[in-house]
Structure 1
Amino acid sequence: MIQKFIELGEGYSDLYELIELGNRMPERIHQAVAFYSEKNNKPVCSLALIMKPALKDKFQPIYICREGIPNPHEIPNQRFTMFQEMVENSGLSLKEFTIKPSVTFPETALYYQYLTGILRTNKMLPPLS
């Protein structure tokens, strides 16, 4: 199975697209994740939906809005609340991780490999087959 991050943006208006994906396909959501980090001395959050593969497909998308939302534990905000409500309406709970920021990595691809490792270690992604 191929698992790939699909970045929708940094969580400004594109977060509404992520929420809409979850609202329209709640049965396809495998996990909902919040990644917390500090970028440029600001507490930020990345929100992601790990989707179930479509039918017998061997592709599992992970839609993400990267580091554009304030960390809600430090700065409450409506965008995070809307995402959390969508997750709860889908019958799921939000999984939360504190991680290194993407600026720590010389390439975005390496950052996504790091996140993949975290998700696999926590059994949120199936192993490669």
Structure 2
Amino acid sequence: MNQRFIELGEGYGDIYELRELITSNQQRFTYGFVFISTNPQGQDVLSIAAAFKPASEGNFMPIYICREGIPVDSKRLKVFEQAVAQIEHTPIKMEVKHSSVYADRKFYYNHLISVLRLNHYIPPMQ
């Protein structure tokens, strides 16, 4: 199964797009994630993500993400948590390294996919 992060933005207006994806694809929604990291300035920032089952045809599992633009106590986090709660799920919170630690963003996303696989939130590579 091919899993890939699809970056919507940094969580400003795109949080509402992610909320819409969750509510309109309730039957495909699997998990919501809140990734907590510390930016180079020492501030805690959040990334929020939603993983969906593959479409009826194809072997692609999308994980939509708003990357590292959300402060810890933000209304945008509450919008995400409410959208996930409406479909009777609870977001999973994890501490991860900030993307600036990696030489390339694709390495950051590969690391996150590995962490999600190891914790059995997404299926193993086939």
TM-score (norm 1): 0.94
Q: Residue in 1 aligned with 2:71?
A: 70
The count of corresponding residues between Structure 1 and Structure 2 is 125
Query: Within 1, Cα distance between the matches of 2:10 and 2:79?
Result: 16
Partner of 2:87: 90
- Is the counterpart of residue 111 in structure 1 residue 111 in structure 2? no
* 1:101 aligns to 2:98 (yes or no): yes
The one-letter code sitting in structure 2 at the alignment partner of 1:42 is Q
The residue type equivalent to 1:115 in the other structure is L
Residue 16 (str. 1) matches residue 16 (str. 2): yes
CA drift of 1:56 comes to: 3.4
In structure 2, stretches of 5+ residues that fail to align are none
1:44-83 Cα offsets, whole Å, 9 max, x none, are: 0000000010113200000000000012xxxx22110010
| 1:111 partner SS | helix
Worse overlay, 23-32 or 103-112: 23-32
Partner of 1:48: helix, strand, or coil?
Answer: strand
Cα distance in 1 for residues equivalent to 2:45 and 2:20: 22
Structure 1 SS opposite 2:27: helix
Unpaired segments ≥5 residues, structure 1: none
Structure 2 counterpart of 1:46, one-letter code: S
**Counterpart amino acid of 1:20?**
E
Deviating 4+ runs (over 4 angstroms): none
